[in-house]
Chain A
Amino acid sequence: MADTKNIPLVDIRHLKEYFYINVGPFQTKPLKAVDDVSFTIKRGETLGLVGESGCGKTTVGRTVLQLYKPTGGEIWYDGKQVKTAKDLKEFRTKATMVFQDPYSSLNPRMTVSDIIAEPLDVHKLCKSKEERRDRVLELMNYVGLNSEHASRYAHEFSGGQRQRIGIARSLAVNPEFIVADEPVSALDVSIQAQVINMFDELQDKLGLTYLFIAHDLLVVRHISDRIAVMYLGKMVELADAQEIYNHPLHPYSKSLISAVPVPDPKIARANQRIALKGDIPSPLNAPSGCPFRTRCQYATEACAESMPEFKEVSTGHFVACHRTAEIND
């Protein structure tokens, strides 16, 4: 255990997730939702994952936890590969998930205490009823829920409180790693800040590691140490949060960041947006080579021929673009 500092907590290598779609009788075609994605997350770090809808960011989150069986690639956790069913069972007590929609991710027929305690029951972590109850109350306390609410049902709560219940549930097994899939997108602005702060505080208190998936770049920048940008199943850029926000290198990241509406009239009006042509192509008919080339203003013939390598251009700053050097002169 001495060298845990050097081993990343989560190490994802060449992760692939293909869904096979029927395109005709007896014919299927792979939809490459995630195609060769690699990244690592250090203990106690938050990695933000951004991209447009359909880019595969949610699939990455779910495949990392093996809610979908990966088509290819390896998932290493704390220096060990998660491979067999036994590994997976153990992995699931260390890595949990917070879902996007606080309305559909809680069972309406269960009380709050049963929802929160379900992972405890599944993994048989509590020996007695008292222990179970105490643990539930402790978890509710962590996320700022009143202990009187334990016997209520989910429909009696507002969106923000429901998301707190979902977070308490994911904390039940004492995880080290949490995949948070758009945990604040369904919440009101004034509630978003409460939940974001809670993620921050829980990280400080419990030493959690997050994979934070969201489409709101300002939120992601706020909470993340590093940010990864995805496009059509591929990771196109990965760097320190401030670095990627201030000096994006990939043309897609550039336009994504320029498109963020900044809540400040002077900046927003002066802001030169880099408009993208058209829509994101269907992942079923992804372009050859670089997936972004059909919308990229710098695209050349080379871009159609091969997928650019995901390489480190400066310390900790990875980008997958053939023309990184020329564009960013």
Chain B
Amino acid sequence: MSLLEVNNLQTSFFTDAGEVRAVNGVSFNLERGKVLGIVGESGSGKSVTAYSIMQILAETGKIVGGSVKLDGQELVNAGEKVMRTVRGNKISIIFQDPMTSLNPTYTIGHQLMEAILLHTDRDKKQAYDRAIEMLKLVNVNSPERRMKQYPHEFSGGMRQRVMIAMALACEPDILIADEPTTALDVTIQAQILELMQSLQHELGMAIIMITHDLGVVAQLCDEIIVMYAGSICEQGTAEEIFYNPCHEYTKGLLKSIPSNDNAGQKLQPITGTPIDLLNMPKGCPFAPRCDEAMKICIRERCKRMEINPDHKASCWMNVKNGIGQQEPTENSGGAAEDGEAK
């Protein structure tokens, strides 16, 4: 049994303009102590996937189908009471913007201790010690002095460290990092990524890393999920995704970023713009921007195919080229593949 099993998750936002299917049939498993990367453009549903797991969606958002199992326990429809024991305790999240996710009117110490007092049965003194310990863990100098300071006295990188300390204070099994370094400079980004990597080795937690930066996932992740318009186009180990991409979107993405290989050459951008989630086509969502699109791509969405045990993709090009095979049973992916993998 995996630590986290997400099966055919569907989340929609009900807006005045209609239903927006932000997450549309996402399935994946997360093993203990692994780092999973979710990459995609804005609007691809990567953050909404994370918020659905935590059930911290905006009021208009609702999980309309699928299941999320943590250690075998079903979380969808489990109720707010159960979720309160999960959030912060078993699954923690770090948000993108360290500038706005701390409360400016409370001291750092207060905010750190709040999480600890809420989720554990430590008393105030113990919570204080724990908070100091956590600040030391994330390499904040002179933690006793820092505890009394307010967020505005911290730099961006320091605030993100505090956010990490807060998220890890209750020793969660899973840490969800939603674009944790996007707002930071490269040198600070390197510090934070290194810190997350070393903490992960030390504490053995699993990380879901949400980002649009392929460089960050290449460095950090064991497995990668590539999302486009609310669904997964491709998932597999980092090596498979980078060296053997089997979905036209992933291929296009890898070609469009400047790297060592295409230095001095013209970049090959993906044409067009991301699709409007209100008017989702019946076929493959990427077909309108895909150079290789065939008739079938527009008519019908490709099922998830197994390229090899470490790699799955949903692209008709693989069918055309005879790569991969249909997944065994038809109950929408996830569960069937588990049985086969074990």
| Chain A contacts to B: CB under 8 angstroms | 52-53, 158, 160-161, 188-194, 196-197, 200, 215, 217-219, 221-222, 242, 255-256, 258-269, 271, 273, 275-276, 279-280
How distant is the Cα of A194 from the Cα of B289 in the complex, in angstroms?
13
Counting CB contacts under 8 A, is B216 at the interface? yes
Q: Which of A221, A222, A265 contacts B238 (CB under 8 A)? A: A265
Contact status B269-A268, CB under 8 Å: no
B219 x A269 contact (CB < 8 A) = yes
CB distance from B193 to the nearest CB of A (A): 8
A267: B residues at CB distance < 8 A:
218, 260
Given A158-B273, A189-B212, A279-B157, the answer on whether A259 and B190 have CB atoms closer than 8 Å is yes
CA distance A266 to B241 in the complex (A): 12
Tell me the number of A-to-B contacts counted with CB atoms below 8 Å. Answer: 125
Chain B positions within 8 Å of A256 at CB level? 186-187
Main SS of the interface on chain A? Answer: helix
Asked if residues B215 and A260 are in contact (CB atoms below 8 Å), the reply is yes
Could you say which residues of chain B place their CB within 8 Å of the CB of A259? 186-187, 189-190
B24 → chain A, closest Cβ, in Å? 19
Q: Which residue of B lies closest to A160 (CB)?
A: B273
Q: Please tell me if the beta carbons of B269 and A52 are within 8 angstroms of each other in the complex.
A: no
Given contacts A259-B186, A260-B186, A279-B157, contact A192 B256 (CB under 8 A): yes
B contact residues, range: 35 or more
Chain A residues, Cβ within 8 Å of B274: 158, 188, 190
Is B133 part of the binding interface, using a Cβ–Cβ cutoff of 8 Å?
no
Instruction: Report yes or no: A189 in contact with B257, Cβ–Cβ below 8 A.
Output: yes
Residues of A within 8 A of B252 (CB): 190
Q: Please name all residues of chain A whose beta carbon is closer than 8 Å to the beta carbon of B193 when the two chains form the complex.
A: 261
Whole-angstrom distance from the CB of B259 to the nearest CB of chain A? 6
| Cβ contact within 8 Å between B266 and A200 | yes
Across the A-B interface, the 10 shortest Cβ-Cβ residue pairs? A261-B215, A193-B269, A222-B258, A193-B256, A259-B190, A263-B214, A268-B219, A52-B185, A190-B270, A194-B269
Query: Is B185 a contact of A53 with CB atoms below 8 Å?
Result: yes
Distance between Cα atoms of A191 and B44 in the complex (Å): 14
B144: chain A residues at CB < 8 Å are none
